[in-house]
Homo-oligomer: A and B are copies of this chain.
């Protein structure tokens, strides 16, 4: 045991830091990032030693018009290639595909023709059969896949267990614990790591964690998962993401003290690109209304609307949430 109060020991092996800034951050600004932002982020992630960078979503262009969204809503092959060039870096490239929002048969190239490495398939428990089909297809097309089961804080353990049993039988490489509503505590995460691990490890799957900051617990929940052996750790720079945002990548890399990672390129990116983004009026991060939706275990959109409306009558808002849960 160390003599100091702070234990400097960290798990050295099997950790992957996943930068989801463009994808989860893109939800904040409809993927309208400034010119050069994605290029600078990619360069920062390469220099920082980040393992995976998630560029955005694959969605059906039939369902979503190009007009209302920036390019990372669609992640066209050419758009990604324009950023990563020859892609000699070690960082893997991921995109997310939601069940019901994309037909992979139309939007996915065979891996040999694509610069994308990883498809992250996102689904609610109730959609897990469709997710399994998408994972099968992506696996056959040559991709590394993850399954991100969303909004589990609304499910019973039996429902999550059933979903896990289905996903575990697919070729998915990683199964993610996703705290969509930011309602979970480190103790909840530890119990979920046991539940997910019990099923996933039997089938040779890895685990991942994607946390939200409604209760100011995104970083703590990520550390709880890391401490329980979870390998894929999602984070975003400055925690940029929907509503209260995510685990800040700079905190995670700083904490890990792993020589594979360097915080300096991230700090330079924050100064050069994240601060101007904030100053341009793009808003995210912890605030009281997100605490309330997190505590009440409801989707954060109510809090996003509340803040957009310029309201601060928190007590009334709490009453509205309670009412909405009765319906």
Contacts and interface: CB of A to CB of B under 8 A. Distances in A.
A297 to B, nearest CB: 6
Contact of A7 (B6, B188, B268): B188
B267 A315 contact: yes
Nearest to A221: B220
A255 B223 contact: no
Interface residues of A, number: 56
A213 to B, nearest CB: 8
Interface string A161-197: 0000000000000000000000111111001100000
Given A217-B219, A217-B220, A314-B267, A297 B248 contact: no
A220 B186 contact: yes
B3 A270 contact: no
A267 B318 contact: yes
A271 B219 contact: no
B160 A5 contact: yes
A207 interface: no
Contacts of A191: 7
Interface stretch (A50-58, A99-107, A149-157, A198-206): A149-157
21 contacts: A3-B157, A5-B152, A5-B153, A5-B154, A5-B188, A5-B192, A6-B183, A7-B187, A7-B191, A185-B255, A186-B186, A187-B223, A213-B216, A215-B251, A215-B255, A216-B219, A216-B248, A254-B292, A255-B295, A264-B315, A267-B314
B186 A6 contact: no
A251 B186 contact: no
A288 interface: yes
Nearest to A157: B3
Contacts of A218: 216
Interface in A190-244: 191-192, 213, 215-220, 223-224, 227, 238
